[in-house]
Structure 1
Amino acid sequence: MKPELTLHGRSLRLQRYPVRNRETLQAWDAADEYLINQVEAMKEAKQPALTPERPIVILNDGFGALACWFAAQANVVSSGDSYIARKASEANLADNNLSAVTFTDCLAPLPENPQLVLIKLPKNNRLLIWQLAQLCAALPDDCTVIAAAKAKDIHTSTLKLFEKHLGPTSTSLAVKKARLIFCKPDKTLATAMPDIQRWDVPEYNLTLTNHANVFSGESLDIGARLLLEHIPQDPKLKTIIDLGCGNGVIGLHAARLNPEARITCVDESYMAVASCRENADLNLTNRNQLTAKVDNCLESMINEDADLVLCNPPFHQQNTITDHIAWQMFCDAKRCLRRHGRLIVIGNRHLGYDGKLKRLFAKVHPIAQNNKFVVYQAEK
C-alpha cells in the first residue's frame, strides 16, 4: 500500500501504527482528503482566513493525516480517545519533520477561541454527542466546523445530532464515497455534559461507570458475561492482566477472586481506562490492588512478569475490520507471561482464534462455549 499522501503540491509520508510488514491498509481515507481539499479551497477564497494565533482543533484524527497537514499552519490541538491514534500521529509528525501538535484526550477541556474544528465522525454516537456538547460550550460564533466520514456512515439521524447539540447543519455532495457536514455553532444550544452511564451487575455485586466511548457502555455484553464465569481463583496467581479491559469488569472480578494478586487493566481507549479506574475505586476494598493504564496492547509491559492474561479482543480498528489486533494481543500475552502462565481468551466462534493460539502456545484447548462464543485457555 502506498504510504504517500499527495495533494496541492505537497506530499506526506503516512503510516498506520504499529507499522507492519506488507501493510495493506492506508493511514488516511477519502474523508481525510475531502476535509483537506475543502479547507484549502476555503483558504484560497480567504474564508476562513487561518491565523497562527488561534488554534485548529481536530477530533478523532485516525493516524495523524489531518494533524500532519495542518501542523505548520496554526497551533493544532488534536483530541481523541485512541492512544494508538496519538502514537501514529506522533510518529508521522516526526517522520515528516513537522511542528509539534498538542494532544489531549476526550475528557480534557478544549482550547479557548479555536478558529476551525475538523471532525472525523466516531463510530459511537455516544462519543459524538459528548464531543458536540463539548464544542457547543467552547466554540466562539465565528468558528468553522466541518465533519467528514464515509457517505454511508452519515445518516439523517447523524445530521439531527449536529442540529440538536451544536447548531444549524448542512451536508455536501459525496466525493469518492465520502461526505462533509458543515455546522454553525449556536451557543443557545449549550447544555450540561451528558450523564455518564452507570448500571449494576447484581449477580457479581458490581456497579459500573461507563464514559461515552466505552465498549458495551450501556449493559454487560454477552461475551464478557461468559468470560466472567471462567476466571480462575488460585492463590498462586500473583500478577493478572486484563488486556483490552473496557470498563474493567473482568479485572474487577479477577481482583475479588484473587485478593492477593496484583491486577493491571490495559486498554487503548482513554475513556475506558478512566472508567476502569473509577470502577476500581467504587467496587474494590483495596483500591490499590488494580492499576489501569493506556497502552498499545502490552507494548510497555515487561517480559515474563504475568501469571494470567484475560482477554476479550476487538476485531476492528476504528472503522476497519481486522484481526491484527488480536494477533498482537496474543503475541504480547505470550511475551509477558511467565513459563506455564496462562492466557484465557474469548472470541466469536467464527473467528477461529484456536488456530492463531496454537501457533504461539504449547497447550491450547476450549474451556467453555455456547452457540456464539468460545473461551480458550492457552499455556506458555
Structure 2
Amino acid sequence: MTTPFGSYELNRFPADPRDQLRAWDAADEYLLRHLDAGTDERGPVDLAAAAGRITVIGDRWGALTTALAAHRPTQITDSSLTRAATEGNLDRAGIGTSKATVTLLTTQDAPPERIDVLLVRVPKSLALLEDQLYRLAPHVHEGTVVVGAGMVKEIHTSTLRVFEKVFGPTKTSLAEKKARLIFCTPDPALTAKAAPGPWPLTYQVDEQGGSGAGLTVVNHSGIFCADRLDVGTRFFLQSIPTNTDGARVVDLGCGNGVVGAAVAVADPDAAVVFTDESYQAVASAKATYEANVGAGRRTAEFHVGDGVAMLDPASVDLVLCNPPFHSHQATTDATALRMFAQSRKVLREGGELWVVANRHMGYHTHLRRLFGNSEVAASEPKFVVLRAIKREARQRPL
C-alpha cells in the first residue's frame, strides 16, 4: 500500500497464499489522503499536534494504524485477527508495538482519556459502531477531528444517523473509487450527556430452542442476532449431543456461547471451551455461561484467538461449530475450512466435529476430504447439520 505517509507491505491474518484479498482497500487510501491534504473546510489534520491522542477504531487489518504509527495512534479493535495482523504489519514496517509507537486496545478495554483525532472504519455491525461511539463520547471534545471511512455500500443513512445521534452534525464526502468519507463535528451538548448504550442485551431462549430452551443469553454489541436466537443456531440446538459424559467440548466460533452453555447445563461434568476471534463474542459467552451454570460446576475455558490454534493436539473430544461465511463484506469459505482443519488437529482419535451450515455451502465435500467421512445428522430445506469423526487414517489435503 502506497500512501502519503510511506509504502507498506501489508498482510491479512492468518496468512493464506490462496487468499487474493488485500489487507487494505480504497476507503483506507481515501482516508489517509484526506489526513495528509484535507478535503473539507477544516483543512488538513494536524497529526503532529495530535500525536499520542489519535484513536483508530474498526481498522480491518491494521493498514491505518501502520501508516500512522509515527504519530503514536491507539487502535481499538474487536478482532484478535485484526490485532495479530496489525502486529505483523508493524513488524514488517520495522515499527513494532512499544509504547513509543502504537497502543493496541480491545473493545473490552477502557478507552484513552483524551481523543483529539478519531478515525472510524465503518464496521459491518451498526450496533458495534453505536456502542463504540457511546463509549468514546466522553473522551472527545469540541475540537476533536472525527473522520469515518468505508466503501459506499457500507455507509447507509442509518450509519450517518448514529454519528449524528451520539456525536453531532455529520456529512459525507463525494465518492472516490467507490469509497466515501464521513465528517462529524462533536457537539459538547450531546457528547457530554452521552449515556451508556443499551448493551449488553439479554433474552431467554423459548421452549422451541431445543437443548437451549430456557437458557439466558447475553449479547454484547456486534454479535450476530443480538435479541433472539438465529435460525441456524436454533436448528443446531435441536441436534447437538449434550450427553457428553464429561467430555472436553469446544464451542468453536462461540458467538454468545449459547451452544456451549447448553452442553454445560446438560452435563455438569463436561469441560467446555469457548473460542472466538471476537473479544465481544467471548465476553458474551462468558456472561451467558455465568448466567446459566450454577456455582460448584466445572470451570469453563474462554479463549480469544484464531479458532482452536491455542489448544493442544488431540486434546478435545467434541467440537461444535456454526462457522461464518463472511469476512467483513466478502463471502468466503476460507474461515470455515480453516476451522475444520484446526478441529481435526485438536480432536482425539474417535473425536467428532459437528457443523451447522447453510445447505448450499457444500461443506460435506470438504469434511470428507479432510476426515475421510461425513454424515448428515439433521437437515431441513435451508440448513444441514454434519458430523465428521476423526479416524486413524492420515489427513488428506484440502
User: Does the pair score TM above 0.5?
Assistant: yes
* Residues 223 and 235 (structure 1), Cα distance of their counterparts in 2 relative to 1, 3 Å cut: closer
Deviates more, 1:35-44 or 1:308-317: 35-44
Aligned to 1:61: 59
Deviates more, 1:18-27 or 1:188-197: 188-197
Matched ranges for 1:129-140 at <5 A: 129-140=130-141
SS in 2 for 1:350: helix
Whole-angstrom CA distance in 1 between matches of 2:321 and 2:47? 49
Work out which of the residue numbers 81, 86, 92 in structure 1 matches 2:83.
86
Whole-angstrom CA distance in 1 between matches of 2:56 and 2:47? 17
Deviates more, 1:8-17 or 1:175-184: 8-17
* Residues 235 and 78 (structure 1), Cα distance of their counterparts in 2 relative to 1, 3 Å cut: closer
* Residues 288 and 166 (structure 1), Cα distance of their counterparts in 2 relative to 1, 3 Å cut: farther
Cα contact 2:81–2:306 (8 A) shared by 1: yes
Whole-angstrom CA distance in 2 between matches of 1:92 and 1:227? 38
* Residues 363 and 252 (structure 1), Cα distance of their counterparts in 2 relative to 1, 3 Å cut: same
Matched ranges for 1:11-160 at <5 A: 11-42=7-38, 47-51=45-49, 53-72=51-70, 74-100=71-97, 101-160=102-161
How many Å apart are 1:289 and its aligned residue?
Answer: 3.0
What number of residue pairs does the alignment pair up?
375
* Residues 235 and 61 (structure 1), Cα distance of their counterparts in 2 relative to 1, 3 Å cut: closer
SS in 2 for 1:366: strand
Work out which of the residue numbers 351, 354, 359 in structure 1 matches 2:361.
351
Cα contact 1:244–1:297 (8 A) shared by 2: yes
How many Å apart are 1:141 and its aligned residue?
Answer: 1.4
Q: Which deviations, in whole Å up to 9, do the C-alpha atoms of 1:6-27 show, x marking residues without a partner?
A: 1237210001111112331100
Work out which of the residue numbers 251, 255, 259 in structure 1 matches 2:260.
251
Aligned to 1:201: 205
| 1:71 maps to amino acid | A
How many Å apart are 1:69 and its aligned residue?
Answer: 0.3
Whole-angstrom CA distance in 1 between matches of 2:57 and 2:162? 16
Report the TM-score, using the length of structure 1 for normalisation.
0.95
Q: Is structure 2 residue 4 aligned with structure 1 residue 8?
A: yes
Work out which of the residue numbers 186, 195, 200 in structure 2 matches 1:192.
195
* Residues 47 and 375 (structure 1), Cα distance of their counterparts in 2 relative to 1, 3 Å cut: closer
| 1:364 maps to amino acid | S
Aligned to 1:228: 237
Matched ranges for 1:263-278 at <5 A: 263-278=272-287
Whole-angstrom CA distance in 2 between matches of 1:173 and 1:264? 47
Q: Is structure 2 residue 383 aligned with structure 1 residue 373?
A: yes
Work out which of the residue numbers 293, 304, 321 in structure 2 matches 1:284.
293
Deviates more, 1:217-226 or 1:43-52: 43-52
Q: Which deviations, in whole Å up to 9, do the C-alpha atoms of 1:170-192 show, x marking residues without a partner?
A: 11000000000000111211321
Q: Is structure 2 residue 335 aligned with structure 1 residue 339?
A: no
Aligned to 1:240: 249
% same residue: 39
Cα contact 1:345–1:375 (8 A) shared by 2: yes
Deviates more, 1:175-184 or 1:195-204: 195-204
SS in 2 for 1:202: coil
Q: Is structure 2 residue 325 aligned with structure 1 residue 315?
A: yes
* Residues 11 and 260 (structure 1), Cα distance of their counterparts in 2 relative to 1, 3 Å cut: same
Q: Which deviations, in whole Å up to 9, do the C-alpha atoms of 1:147-171 show, x marking residues without a partner?
A: 0111122122221221111111111
| 2:197 maps to amino acid | P
Cα contact 2:121–2:148 (8 A) shared by 1: yes
Aligned to 1:174: 175
RMSD of the TM alignment (CA)? 1.7
Q: Which deviations, in whole Å up to 9, do the C-alpha atoms of 1:58-86 show, x marking residues without a partner?
A: 001100100100001x2211001111111
Q: Is structure 2 residue 315 aligned with structure 1 residue 328?
A: no
Q: Which deviations, in whole Å up to 9, do the C-alpha atoms of 1:302-327 show, x marking residues without a partner?
A: 10000000000000112221110000
Whole-angstrom CA distance in 2 between matches of 1:157 and 1:362? 47
How many Å apart are 1:298 and its aligned residue?
Answer: 1.0
* Residues 139 and 226 (structure 1), Cα distance of their counterparts in 2 relative to 1, 3 Å cut: same
Whole-angstrom CA distance in 1 between matches of 2:297 and 2:56? 35
Deviates more, 1:231-240 or 1:60-69: 231-240
How many Å apart are 1:260 and its aligned residue?
Answer: 1.1
Report the TM-score, using the length of structure 2 for normalisation.
0.91
How many Å apart are 1:363 and its aligned residue?
Answer: 2.5
| 2:76 maps to amino acid | S
Whole-angstrom CA distance in 1 between matches of 2:376 and 2:260? 21
